[in-house]
């Protein structure tokens, strides 16, 4: 078990200082006049007095307690937590990008708009869609944008529809986005192979069906093999086909969703194109749509106009078009998460078409490599070759008294982040693993070895696994009690700072 860290307050010695300031122009009393009296402290805050070195060591020590992709393998299924090349951050930190103000006149940020234009063009080529918006700032935000477009499309036809079909293996954001948009999610059961069957879709369709949301490859890691037939029956019913692009990592250079029947697709730049994510953001959920749906894209839409070579022209080369009467309106206060757009653009330009195809190929190889290594010890939820992720089931281990959640917590002791646990919901004791394309064979071998060792520990000492983790800053918490009995402290005027 890790030795508890010494609190920085315990290192405090009166008189030590962690920072030195130059002689200030104004006295304390003069500076106090700038702060309204009701906002001034009556007493100084109780802060530790330590050297600058101790301050630095304190924060570095805290940072090592967090798990992140630069520290270790992060096999979080459906989230594509892969290595983020540092050149992407360097590009986003370029002062010309980092200091650009979102309200600056278009004529002064032509370079930024040019980058967005090229990123949009690249995503359109990758996805096979003729129109794209970069405005959504998360995957679920892209979903909501897409569903609102579907809703507006039918309202514009004068034939409003309310139902959206969703597989039972879908991400939880799918029904949530549908509900928030004021529509009705309808669950469709997967077949014995974990896929959507054209017969099940046909049976669920009716005159009130606006469309179907499919993740492809799905959350079970399998490509929807009947997608062409599904697209045909959906369109015959006058409905639309939406693709949740969370797993696009497996399709880069191999499949263009816009060319196989999908009408809409959101792309998680923060998953597929390696921009940092986690902890709720920052994200980017670019949305591609068919030509029929282009008029409904959120305002504004990035356009390319006349050349700036002739400065007498009124129209800039790149501009934001607001004159779109059928638009669903604005989905974000500014035009997307620009810093993430820069990172995604840098990633695409670094890899090129051939490199992006290798991303998908290597992601598929890595997932299937783990599937084969672990299939003798853990059950594979739906046997057969997978795409970018493999879903295991710990049903064998559960019979011995140890559940998937216990295994995930024990993995922490081996230095690995837990995989997605208990999802998809249709898989009992699910362990959903996405190795991504950036992990080496050596890493995958060691990870598989850890999972196999844990299974052997269950045979010899199940309590060791059930009480894990043992080597983390905090031991196992009572998650049920924490969820049911929230302990939230509110600061009041009488509270100590």
Residues 216-273: tens digit of each pLDDT: 999 999 999 999 999 999 999 999 999 999 999 999 999 999 999 999 999 999 899 9
Residue 70 lies in a domain: no
The pLDDT tens digits for 19-73 are 777 777 777 778 788 888 888 888 888 889 999 999 899 988 888 888 888 888 9
Long-range contacts of 61-66 (CB under 8 A, 24+ apart): 61/5, 65/473
Tell whether 375 and 340 lie within a shared domain: no
Residue 79 lies in a domain: no
The vertex-47 CA angle with 45 and 53, nearest 5°, equals 150
Tell whether 198 and 271 lie within a shared domain: yes
C-alpha 182/C-alpha 185 separation (Å) is 10
The domain boundary residue, chosen from 281, 315, 347 = 347
The mean pLDDT of 420-447, rounded to a whole number, is: 96
The Cα-based distances of 338 to 84, 102, 245, 249 in angstroms read: 17, 9, 20, 21
Tell whether 248 and 180 lie within a shared domain: yes
Measured in residues, the chain has a length of 497
Residue 354 lies in a domain: no
Residue 68 lies in a domain: no
Tell whether 236 and 370 lie within a shared domain: no
Boundaries of domain holding 343: 86-347
Tell whether 295 and 405 lie within a shared domain: no
Domain at 312, CATH number: 3.40.640.10
C-alpha 341/C-alpha 204 separation (Å) is 38
Q: Which of 92-106, 309-323, 396-410 has the lowest mean pLDDT?
A: 309-323
227 torsion bin: left (phi>0), alpha (psi -120 to 50), beta (else): alpha
Residue 410 lies in a domain: yes
Count of domains observed in the chain: 3
Tell whether 55 and 113 lie within a shared domain: no
Q: Which distant-in-sequence residues (6+ apart) come within 8 Å of 44 by Cβ?
A: none
Tell whether 306 and 221 lie within a shared domain: yes
The mean pLDDT of 294-311, rounded to a whole number, is: 81
Tell whether 343 and 373 lie within a shared domain: no
The mean pLDDT of 321-330, rounded to a whole number, is: 96
How confident is residue 1, by pLDDT bands cut at 50, 70 and 90? very low
């Amino acid at each position: 078990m890790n030795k508890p860290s010494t609190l920085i307050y315990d290192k405090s010695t009166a008189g030590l200082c962690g920072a030195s300031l130059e002689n200030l122009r104004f006295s304390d009393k003069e500076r106090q006049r700038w702060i309204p009296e009701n906002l001034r402290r009556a007493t100084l805050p109780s802060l530790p007095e330590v050297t600058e070195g101790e301050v630095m060591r304190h924060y570095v020590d805290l940072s090592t307690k967090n798990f992140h992709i630069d520290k270790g393998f992060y096999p979080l299924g459906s989230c594509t937590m892969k290595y983020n090349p540092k050149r992407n951050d360097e590009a986003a930190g370029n002062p010309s990008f980092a200091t650009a103000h979102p309200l600056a006149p278009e004529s002064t940020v032509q370079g930024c708009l040019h980058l967005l234009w090229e990123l949009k063009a690249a995503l359109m080529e990758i996805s096979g869609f003729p129109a794209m918006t970069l405005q959504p700032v998360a995957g679920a935000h892209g979903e909501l944008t897409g569903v609102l477009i579907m809703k507006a499309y039918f309202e514009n036809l004068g034939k409003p529809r309310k139902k959206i079909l969703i597989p039972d293996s879908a991400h939880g954001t799918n029904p949530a986005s549908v509900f928030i948009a004021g529509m009705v999610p309808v669950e469709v059961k997967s077949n014995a192979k974990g896929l959507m069957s054209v017969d099940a879709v046909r049976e669920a369709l009716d005159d009130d069906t606006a469309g179907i949301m499919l993740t492809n490859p799905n959350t079970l890691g399998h490509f929807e093999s009947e997608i062409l037939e599904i697209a045909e029956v959906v369109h015959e019913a006058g409905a639309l086909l939406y693709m949740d692009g969370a797993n696009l990592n497996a399709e880069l250079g191999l499949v263009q969703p816009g060319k196989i029947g999908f009408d809409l697709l959101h792309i998680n730049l923060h998953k597929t194109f390696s921009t940092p994510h986690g902890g709720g953001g920052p994200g980017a959920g670019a949305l591609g749509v068919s030509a029929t749906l282009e008029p409904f894209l959120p305002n504004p839409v990035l356009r390319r106009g006349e050349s700036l070579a002739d400065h007498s022209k009124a129209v800039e080369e790149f501009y934001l078009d607001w004159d779109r009467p059928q638009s669903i309106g604005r989905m974000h206060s500014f035009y997307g998460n620009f810093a993430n757009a820069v990172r995604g653009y840098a990633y695409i330009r670094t890899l090129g078409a051939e490199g992006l195809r290798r991303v998908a190929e290597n992601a598929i190889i890595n997932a299937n490599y783990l599937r084969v290594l672990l299939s003798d010890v853990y059950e594979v939820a739906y046997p057969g070759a997978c795409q970018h992720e493999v879903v295991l089931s710990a049903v064998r281990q559960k019979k011995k008294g140890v559940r998937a959640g216990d295994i995930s917590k024990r993995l922490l002791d081996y230095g690995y982040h837990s995989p997605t646990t208990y999802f998809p919901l249709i898989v009992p004791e699910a362990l959903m693993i996405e190795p991504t394309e950036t992990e080496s064979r050596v890493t995958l071998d060691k990870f598989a070895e850890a999972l196999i060792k844990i299974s052997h520990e269950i045979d010899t000492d199940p309590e060791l696994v059930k009480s894990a983790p043992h080597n983390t800053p905090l031991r196992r918490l009572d998650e049920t009690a924490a969820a049911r009995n929230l302990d939230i402290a509110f600061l009041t005027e009488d509270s100590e700072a």
